[in-house]
Structure 1
Amino acid sequence: MAANLSTGDVPGQSDITSLIDKKQTGCLNGDDSTALESLLEGANALTSDCDEQLILSFPFNQLLMKDTYGETPKILRVFSNLLKIPDFDRASSAEALRILWFTEN
């Protein structure tokens, strides 16, 4: 059963945060002062504690059918049905379901 989603700021996009299983989210390399929980509650930034890399895990509580795109990061690798959050070595070598490249525009 599809949830009622609010319309996003970009035509054709919807806010899917209500579909995130927040108890199962994860972030590797995240700075504690900009926690993932804060980002999900509307904070403007999530920063790394050591370098430019972050691994984010957003499990959803139902199937999503629409693609969503943002302005950052520069590269987004999407994995599906992983049993646990991968480390950076595994994420860089594993086959991604989709790889998205974003420009500065």
Structure 2
Amino acid sequence: MIIFGFRQKVLQLAMATFLCAACGNPAAHALRRAVTKFTLFFVPLFPVNSKYFTQCTFCGATNRVTKAEAEQLRAQASRQVPNSQQYQQDQRQTG
């Protein structure tokens, strides 16, 4: 008897701040990737499907995005992090 199936794992790639399409609030959005893998005897072997989506931290709405859009959001998120760190450093210096 061979036991096979599929298992899905969701990975968080980045956090980006932009205007939510559902609630209209400027909120942080989690960029996530859902990977479905083929399993044999409960061991994940190879990816079958991959989907990217964002989830609003304010209202919880999810929006599916393409791989290219996900890469752009990830780059945008990496540019946002140093700005927030710089703001925190400025606040410490001004006291």
More strand by share: 2
Higher-helix-fraction structure: 2
* TM-score of the pair, normalised by structure 2: 0.30
